[in-house]
Structures are given as C-alpha cells and as structure tokens.
Amino acid sequence: MLIIKDKTFVPFITADAIQARIQELASQINRDYADRQPLIVGVLNGSVLFAADLMKHLTIPCEITFIRVKSYTATESTGELKQILGLSEPVEGRDLIVVEDIVDTGLTICDVCNQLRAQSPASLAIATLLFKPAALKKPVDLQYVGFEIENRFVVGYGLDYDGLGRNTPDILVLAS
C-alpha cells in the first residue's frame, strides 16, 4: 500500500511482471529492427524507468534520446496541444520508436507523433508500457504495448500523482 497526500494506492502490477513483459517487448523490437538502427525517443518524465529497463535488453545498435512535452493552448479550437522540447537529433529518415509510460486519452502521443511525422522520419513506432483502451479519445496505432489496463488511475514505475510516487518498482492503482 502507498499513501500519497490524500490518496491510497494498492498493488496492481508487480515489479517481476513488469520486468518480464519488458523483456518480451525488447525481444520483439530486436527482431523487428534487426536490420535497422532506430532512434529511441523517450517521453519524460513518466517513461524514464520503462525506457531505461527496455534499452538494457535491446541488442540492436540504437540511439537513445529523451524529450519533454509541454502543454500549450492552441490558437484554434483544437484544444490543448503539446509542444516537443529538447529534441536536438535530426529525425528525417530515421526509424523512430517513441517510448511512453501510458496512453490514456491518446491525445499526448497523437500530438507528439504528428509533430515527429512532420519531420519526415523513415518510420515511427510507439512503445507504451500501459494502455487504457476505454479512455482513448483519438485512434492511435500502438506497436508495442506492455499491459492493457482498465480505466483507473495508476502510479509508480515512473507514473506520478502530483509529482510523487514515480520511484517504486511496482505499479499501484488508486483504491476504489
């Protein structure tokens, strides 16, 4: 059990299950990219542990970089868009694998991918540790998914509640 401020979180996905699944995802990526040299793009802060554990099991030659996304309000009526910060590597012609902690509504990953696609990569794939299909608001093509989960708030292993709780090896869920 984990108490953060006013909320109680209970065990959900164990560290062992997370690590086993990450090894499977890495094996899949190693097979799929056997003849390519992808650029792994981790989305901070949430993906930091997932990206680190995933890359330990990649045996293909690959480069790794991190970006942050910053919310800003669009001038049109499209709602809130995310601006990519910190990407200094050229993306054109590269095989990108965007690494996220969680796809919830899908709005963040869609914004990020649209902006990356505008820079003409050779290919773009998404690896997300968690996916909440019931929360999805925009269709998104996910190539590597760790766990599909129900629409409940989770913390741990990179995911936070109000900035806290990222530093656990397990994932916990808000007690109902």
Minimum Å distance from CB 174 to ligand XMP? 8
- Minimum CB separation of residue 170 from ligand XMP in Å reads 13
Near ligand XMP by CB under 6 A: residue from 108, 125, 157, 171: 108
Radius of gyration (Cα) for the chain, nearest Å? 16
Q: Interaction with ligand XMP in 66-105: which residues (CB under 6 A)?
A: 100-105
Q: Which helix (H) or strand (E) holds 110?
A: helix 107-117
Q: Which of Mg ion, ligand XMP, none interacts with 111 (beta carbon under 5 to 8 A by kind)?
A: none
Q: How far apart are CA 68 and CA 22, in angstroms?
A: 22
Give the length of the chain: 176
Query: Binding Mg ion by CB under 5 A: which of 46, 106, 146, 165?
Result: 46
Q: Report d(CA 106, CA 27) in Å as an integer.
A: 25
**Which of 33/97 has CB closer to Mg ion?**
97
Nearer to ligand XMP, 33 or 131 (CB): 131
Which token pair is 168? 């656990």
Smallest distance from ligand XMP to CB 92, Å? 25
| Residue 146 lies near ligand XMP (rule: CB under 6 A) | no
Contact predicate 112/98, CB 8 Å: yes
92 DSSP assignment: T
Which range of residues in 14-22, 29-37, 90-98, 154-162 is near ligand XMP by CB under 6 A?
154-162
Contact at 8 Å (CB) between 170 and 11? yes
What kind and span of H or E run contains 12? strand 7-13
Work out whether 160 is an interface residue with ligand XMP (CB under 6 A).
yes
Question: Which of the residues are catalytic?
Answer: 104
Interface residues with ligand XMP (CB under 6 A)? 46, 100-109, 153-155, 159-161
